[in-house]
Amino acid sequence: MKTPPNLKFWQLWNLSFGFFGVQIAYALQSANISRIFATLGADPHNLSYFWILPPLAGIIVQPIIGVLSDRTWTRFGRRIPYLFIGVLIAVIVMCLLPNAGSFGMTVGAAMVFGLFALMFLDTSINMAMQPFKMMVGDMVNEKQKGLAYSIQSFLCNAGSLVGYLFPIFFTAIGIQAVAPKGVIPDSVIYSFYIGAAILIFCVIYTSVKVKEYPPEIYNQYHPVKKGEEKANIFKLLVNAPSAFWTVGLVQFFCWAAFMYMWTYTNGALADNIFHAPTALHEGKVVLDTASKEYQAAGDWVGVLFAVQAIGSVIWAPIIALFKSRKFAYILSLVLGAFGFISVFFFQNQYLLFISYALIGCAWAAMLALPFTILTNSLTGGHMGTYLGLFNGTICIPQIVAAALGGVILSIFTTPGQAAPQVYMLVFAGVLLLIGACCVLFVKEGTADRGKEVVDIPDSEAL
């Protein structure tokens, strides 16, 4: 069996560049969804339920995209057509979602509209994101996969940095960060517009620069064993390498933790740091989402998530210096856990830079190490299907966390007082510590690909 050739740095870069734009869209979603729905009138105890649809859509869509793209061969490639479809849907929805409160609908209708828009947005982002991971698995040899996923991690975090900072940037240049009750501020709306424009540009760039391997070349590097092409998803799961399951266990606790970060950071900051006033909503004491303090906290969430992205960018190359991936994995998650827990103790908004920089260490490991470990254990013609199925280890924990978030928050809530959302971040830290312990069970494997490395012309490679 032949091994894919070594690729030049800029070939690896072009392979993942579109991920920069996709991650801007994802960052805008993750940093602003709770702010959007709280502004529309959602109860804090119900906020996590609005986050169920995105991972639910992902767990359905990504395996389907994996299966279909494994069987697709067009003159545009096998993964890129799905990338383009996902991006087109994402761009449309990014222009509609932040306007949910501006169409003159009732509160209930606006939230229903927002829910469906969110579902389509996350589905399309997942549809656009997955092909980049698959193309690395298709076109990069095992020796360079660590570098390829590190580049992808860098672009991911750089995109996150831009997306997170958009709202506070627009506020700084004079665009309104507050709006009438139930209406999303212009600073958030414009952020989504610009993010959509960058997304389409980045994906066009990758599509022009990258040429996927045609079937005859691809099959030299990923030959399908006899009968393998007829295997169904359930059979593939039964025969999945141990890395699929052991890394999946770690993923469960990690992604549940980050689901709580995305859901509750805004409320935690508004209460603990910016001291937003409270108001009565349907007989419950909640934070006043129309107050300048609450919206200022929303802008600061973007800053902290940007600090997380910077921390991740800095930490990602350090991970590559460790001889043991498992040790790097454990250390990264423990640092992230300390970051989450420290939010409870810091009362100064600038001290939280330390917290979210540490959280960025965990994020860097979560982006690079699981896929490196898994793809090194895979061979044959079902790379995309396995990566699609592996997305379940990202989506399922988010669904579970979202379903239980309101219940867990209720345990910490005192009647007559606003829900202490900062406790959910402490709980997230505990989950990361459990995930770090589970890394001990990870079993790394190496797919049997032989040792032959061939060189082919650049025009055939990318």
253 sits in which H/E element: helix 242-272
Whether the predicted pLDDT of 125 surpasses 50: yes
Whole-number pLDDT of residue 453: 36
Whether the predicted pLDDT of 306 surpasses 70: yes
Q: Please, are residues 155 and 17 in contact by the beta-carbon 8 Å criterion? A: yes
Q: Please, are residues 257 and 428 in contact by the beta-carbon 8 Å criterion? A: yes
> Taking the domain 12-220+233-445+457-461, which CATH number applies?
1.20.1250.20
Whole-number pLDDT of residue 358: 97
Q: Please, are residues 100 and 113 in contact by the beta-carbon 8 Å criterion? A: yes
Whole-number pLDDT of residue 233: 67
Sign of the CA dihedral with 433 first, then 434, 435, and 441 last: positive
Whether the predicted pLDDT of 109 surpasses 70: yes
Q: Which of 411, 418, 409 is nearest to 272 (CA)?
A: 418
Determine the angle formed by the axes of helices 9-16 and 186-209, rounding to 10 degrees. 130
The pLDDT tens digits for 251-270 are: 999 999 999 999 999 999 99
The pLDDT tens digits for 375-394 are: 777 665 566 677 767 778 88
User: Which residues does 61 contact at the CB level (< 8 Å), separation at least 6?
Assistant: 123, 126, 127
Q: What span, in angstroms and rounded, lies between the C-alpha atoms of 268 and 275? A: 10
Geometric angle at alpha carbon 316, from 312 and 322, rounded to 5°: 135
Geometric angle at alpha carbon 132, from 126 and 136, rounded to 5°: 145
Q: If you average pLDDT over residues 430-439, what whole number do you get?
A: 96
Geometric angle at alpha carbon 7, from 454 and 64, rounded to 5°: 95
pLDDT band at 85 (very low <50, low <70, confident <90, very high): confident
Instruction: Name the residue ranges covered by the structural domains of the chain.
Output: 12-220+233-445+457-461
DSSP of 302-324:
HHHHHHHHHHHHHHHHHHTT-S-
Whether the predicted pLDDT of 402 surpasses 80: yes
Q: What span, in angstroms and rounded, lies between the C-alpha atoms of 137 and 372? A: 9
The pLDDT tens digits for 214-254 are: 877 877 776 665 555 555 667 777 777 777 888 889 999 99
Output the pTM of the full model: 0.74
Cβ burial of 13 (10 Å; 0-12, 13-18, 19+) is middle
Q: If you average pLDDT over residues 115-143, what whole number do you get?
A: 81
